[in-house]
Structure 1
Amino acid sequence: MERNGCSALALLLLLSVVAWTEAEVEKTIFFPSQKLTWEKARQYCQKHHIDLVTWDTVDPNLLTTWLLEEGFINVWIGLHRDPEESLVWRWINVKTGIGLTGDDVSRSRNWGLAQAIGASCGSYNSLTKTWESSLCSLEKPFICYADNLVVVTENKTWEDALNHCREMTNKSFKFDLLSVTNSSDYGYVSDRLYRATTDEVWTGLRFLGGEWWWSDGESLDHQEMLPDCPSQWQHCGTVSKNNTTNWTRRDCSERRNFICSYE
């Protein structure tokens, strides 16, 4: 079997890599029972989960419904005033501390009450479905989020990384090298690599049988993003922590950090 001059690998090898069920980037919200200032709330989220919730990590409508059902009206979220530009508000970001641009946030129709003088931290009002500015020293309920990703800072070949992830499987969770079947998750995954010790990390992307596949058995949606006849050894895919806009093919025998996901 041939495709554009590239020999297909044995079907047995193909099945051994792609036999697992589909996995996706999943995010979970947590609502701790205590009330804290904005800074302490963020420290709590970073210690126990990932960070305070931002609007790119949740479905606002589902979040609103849940908050109202639980009786929570005003809660801290990951929104704050830029300390160097007093009229600019920004989303926090696990990598840089800055998410959307100030204009995106400041001009949004999601704002409710007028921004009070000296109020530099953002909260969410579930009744009015709007953001509000508050004094950071106030103690409020808050929302954290986490995901199903694990960045491993050991350097391994692609095959060893795949085995490492799968050997992490236990009675509660099934692990695999990360498959990013939703292209909108690319930027989020790239940001999550800020603690990696290599510029690029292995993902579950592998060239097999004349096509690019994810280790969960899904094929790459946009095959044209990578060559359909890569050089002999560059059959494994990485993602960069420096926010490049594409997947990169690398020699599978190279040793680098990798990212696992779990169900």
Structure 2
Amino acid sequence: MEKKIVLLVPFVFFFLSTPPCGSTSGVSNFKVIPIAIKLDWYGAQTYCREHYSDLANINNQAQADMIAPYKGWIGMKWKSGQWTLSRGEKKAVFNRFGSGAEASDGYCAESHSATEWHSHECSEARIFLCEERLNLVQEEKTWEEALQHCRELQDFASPTYTYDLASLANKNKTVLDRVALRPYEVWVGLRFMAGEWLWMNGARATPRRLRECPDQQQHCGAVAHDAVRLKALNCSERRFFLCDIKW
């Protein structure tokens, strides 16, 4: 059954850090989106991944300061004797838990105040904080060059993250509405391979307006300027492009 949920997105904050000297390709934006609906932690994680990038994964003090004004689930849970991040289930290297926070299986993290996080049973329904790391790169490149550019990006705020051309299979129009698309197409991670359209994350794409058997050169996918339609273009054309966190 299709679920329709009204997005309540009052604010988007940006964390911008300065890249190290000598670096040539990097991103450092961290956008936090408070969601004013209540879900359990796993439901919140699914929601954020479908509409944005993930629950807010906090890796350092600067990012913690950005979520400080808000309450809600964040991307951290207790697993195998340690706090782990939602993305990749890596060990969390930063937290703001108070001394009385429960640390055991079945507990997840909540941003509670400007100075302290709480832990609650993951099954509780709470509001939550998503993060968005979709990046519009305003350089005109071929599809292959754009793919290479995204994969070489380094996130200076979260150095363990890797990027790819954006796979938009589960992202609705609200994602693209926040990206200032130009009056022409923008490359995304969509390619015609082995007789079918595939996203870079491996998901099959079934957009109605893409040909099942496109012309020989039109094997690369782009988002049209209306931010709704997907189009097949010649892979050698030069366009701006969208990068996103790689799962």
TM-score range, shorter chain: 0.3 to 0.5
Give the TM-score normalised by the residue count of structure 2.
0.48
TM score, norm. by length of structure 1: 0.45
| Structure number, greater radius of gyration | 1
Instruction: Give the structure with the larger helix fraction.
Output: 1
Whose strand fraction is larger, Structure 1's or Structure 2's? Answer: 2
Q: Which has the higher contact order (CA 8 A, sep 6+)?
A: 1
